Amino acid sequence: MQIHLESLSIDSFRGLKNLELDGLSRVNLFVGPNNSGKTSVLEAISTYCRPLDPLEWLNTSRRREAIGGEITPIARLNALRWLFPQTREQHPNDLYHGQVQMQAKGGFAVKSVLAKYQEIRGIPDEDTLKRIQQRMPSREPDLTYQGAELQININAEQKDLSPVGNIQANFVFWESAPFFDRQRRSDPYSLSVRTITPVSHRTERSQIDRFSEATLNRDMENILDLIRLFDPDILGMQILGVGGISLFVDHKKTGLTPLSAFGDGVRRVIMIALTLSNIKEGVLLIDEIETAIHISVLNDVYRWLFDACKKNNIQLFATTHSLEAVDALIKAHPAAYDDLVAYRFGQPGESAKRYGGELLNRLRSERGLDVR
């Protein structure tokens, strides 16, 4: 089964420059020190998988924000800008422009993405102005507004490898103006992609959304198998409207118990399992794959994850700071080294080192070396 991305070349994205990731596999692990670009690569992949979807660009740009933190409309717009390369030469008063460029090989139809961001200032059209004023009635109507144009060009191939050619999409965002996309982006130029951040399992809204999707996919029994690795007494899960909608776990000892009453480990595994269920034939991105899961169950959880990815043709990209996580992924399937690869990122601008599964196993098992 051909994987979606066999290689990825990121010419520019956030602080990443000329990064080549050759020989990608089913399970791809990113290791390296802080600020080496691991999370940026996950963000680059998430936009590459849905390049024509403006909401993916916006969501990706906001994923690093703290949950529940207040954010100004200008900061929201700037978050999108920061997906694009920044330079010291840019004067704060200049209108920023920058571009993101990526190419990939593999089963996914999209072969290259070029996105251009142009900061703009001015007065939006009447409809947009009305929406801004409805949202922010106290704002002076005659002020100029800050906005941004996002122009996206992709090159794609059909399944028979014949070129589709260049496809372009343009979007305009204004500060304070709500943005909505009228087109449902399930075209051949997008892959199902989901990101699990180190805090995703703590947002109940995400859990409820993904539980609903998994229930609609009739995948709950499979998901419960994974959750029972953690706690064999879990019987099932339900959404209940008790003082607001919440996700409840049916537990042999405690009965129906709010998910929020469980520890981070169970919540994290539930989040991973629910997410997997909704991205068959897609891409799963996990930032800090070790988060909240105790070492004693890492092997079992990763084996389940590995199997689920293979069975459902899901390509997994994960970051980690944990040697235990690296070891557990190696041991998850000792006979399937071809399905695992790790990349070690160094300082910004340095190329990433690639460790195929067999070499990774030797470095860890036979040499005891730290690959992070």
Which residues contact another protein (rule: CB under 8 A)? 323, 353, 355, 359, 362-371
**Shortest CB 366 distance to another protein, Å:** 5
Which DSSP string corresponds to 13-26? ETTEEEEEE-S--S
Spatial separation of the C-alpha atoms in residues 138 and 175, rounded to whole Å: 15
Tokens of 132: 């801004």
Q: CB of residue 362 vs another protein: minimum separation in angstroms?
A: 6
Smallest distance, another protein to C-beta of residue 343, A: 12
For residue 370, the minimal CB distance to another protein (Å) is 4
What DSSP string describes 150-211? EEEEEEEE-TTS-EEEEEEEEEEEETTS-----S---STT---EEEE-TTGGG-HHHHHHHH
Shorter beta-carbon distance to another protein: residue 110 or 342: 342
For 282, left (φ over 0), alpha (ψ -120 to 50), or beta? Answer: beta
CB atoms within 10 A of CB 100: 25
Query: In terms of CB distance, is 171 or 337 closer to another protein?
Result: 337
Determine how β-strand 283-286 pairs with β-strand 193-196.
parallel
Three-state secondary-structure class, residue 314: coil
Give whichever of 59 and 299 is closer to another protein, judged by the CB atom.
299
Closer of 53 and 327 to another protein (Cβ): 327
Choice between 203 and 361, CB closer to another protein = 361
- Would you call 363 helix, strand, or coil by DSSP? helix
- Written as six digits, the tokens of 298 are 């890492």
Closer by beta carbon to another protein, 111 or else 321: 321
Give the shortest CB-320-to-another protein separation in angstroms. Answer: 15
CB of 240 to another protein, least distance (A): 46
